[in-house]
Amino acid sequence: MTTRVALRRDAGRIGPESGPWIRQRQVAKIWGPPDPASLAQLVDHRDVVLGWGLLAPDADIPLRLVQFGDKPPAADWFERRLASALAARAGLGLGETLDTTAYREVNSEGDGLPGLVIDRYGDDRVVQLGTPAMTARRAAILEFLRPRTPGQIFVIAGEAAPDAAESVLEFREHGLWFSCPAPPAQKTGAYLDQRDNRRLAAGLAARAGGPLLDLGCHVGGFVVHAAAAGVRAVGLDQSARALSFARRNAARNDLTERTAFVQADMFGALDDPALAGPFGVIVFDPPRIATGSQGRERAVAAMARSLGRLVPRLAPGGFLLACSCSHHVGRADLDAALLGAGPHGFTRVHALGPGPDHPVWPGHVEGEYLRVNVYQRRDT
């Protein structure tokens, strides 16, 4: 029996342009067994079939569509989309050289596989199962990946993996060596969505004459890239474990003499002498601080207070990278946070996001979660 999700009369227009998410407030009734391993049929209030999706009946997003229209996907749609996602990365040139061996292979809705993330780290893969439907397909995912994975497969599905606690992921990024903790660590490892932005920031730091300061440095990506570009770089993070990997990554690339790391709260006083500046580039990369629209104003205010402490440490002509990893804090909010930091002359010179290995389903605005605004200080 096919499970059917019936929409309310006032659910709004549903089509490719509205994106793949059906929210609880749009649903009138769910008919049939709530089986996450099967595809559910979406119907409007007139019983017209609108599409097919993956079911999580008790979630805020009870249905994530994988195909619009009355025709169901082919029986092997799941395996075909996995293969298509991996082929798409090959089409981008990823995986062809040893220059960069870490990238995203499956990006959830962006690859037509809602709730599934797969990241590649050299010979290893990290799989994140974010919905009941993907957890139900765990065996099929591993069966697909095992013959294609020379190393280990780490799975994040809500439970801890004690045997993986001391495992390490090793990879190259734009010619530099990195390592990071394997799951159950920070998300899927090394924030691959910032990969290309790390190299851009290093170039800006070299042109500005450095040094670079990265707040929220994790395992040292921005810092190591800047040091490799010939400038001094300082990283700050609250996690002692992350900083141990950051120092290890600097040492592996023979960059210890040009790097320094500080353990502190990025929203704190920032009174360590190594943070005094002036800096040619400052990267402000906080964790997600707004999990919903109701937290947006508080997030902007918190960022404005921190940026108010940072802006005086930026040299004239220098660059500030303000980052948001929350869909609810957009580019305009980053602008507002900077304007709230004080009367300094800035202009935005770049509006960045993740690389092409993080595709977005057209119309799925929630898939655009990472924003990086690059501002140049132009005091007059």
pLDDT tens per residue, range 17-55? 999 999 999 999 999 988 899 999 999 999 999 999 999
Distance CA 107, CA 126 (A): 12
Q: How confident is the model at residue 365 (pLDDT cuts 50, 70, 90)?
A: confident
| Beta-bridge partners for 40 | 53
The residue annotated as part of the active site, out of 180, 217, 323, 325, is 325
379 with 346: CB under 8 angstroms? no
Q: How confident is the model at residue 363 (pLDDT cuts 50, 70, 90)?
A: confident
* Radius of gyration for the chain, computed over Cα atoms and rounded to the nearest angstrom: 22
Same fold flag, 4-68 and 77-173: no
Q: Are strands 233-237 and 212-215 parallel, antiparallel or unpaired?
A: parallel
308 with 240: CB under 8 angstroms? no
Closest CA to 293 of 361, 365, 188, 192: 365
The confidence score (pLDDT) of residue 163 equals 46
Question: Which DSSP helix (H) or strand (E) runs through 210?
Answer: none
Q: Give the CATH fold of the 4-68 domain.
A: 2.30.130
Question: Is residue 180 annotated as part of the catalytic site, yes or no?
Answer: no
Mean pLDDT lowest among 174-188, 194-208, 214-228: 174-188
Distance CA 202, CA 205 (A): 5
What residues does each domain of the chain span? 4-68, 77-173, 191-377
Query: CA quadruple 260, 265, 267, 273: dihedral positive or negative?
Result: negative
Q: Give the CATH fold of the 77-173 domain.
A: Transcription Regulator spoIIAA (3.30.750)
Give the best-scoring range by mean pLDDT among 91-95, 189-193, 278-282: 278-282
The confidence score (pLDDT) of residue 29 equals 94
Q: Is the pLDDT score of 162 beyond 50?
A: no
> What one-letter code names the amino acid at 150?
P
The confidence score (pLDDT) of residue 164 equals 47
Q: Are strands 21-22 and 63-68 parallel, antiparallel or unpaired?
A: antiparallel
Question: Which DSSP helix (H) or strand (E) runs through 175?
Answer: none
Q: Which CATH class is domain 191-377?
A: alpha beta
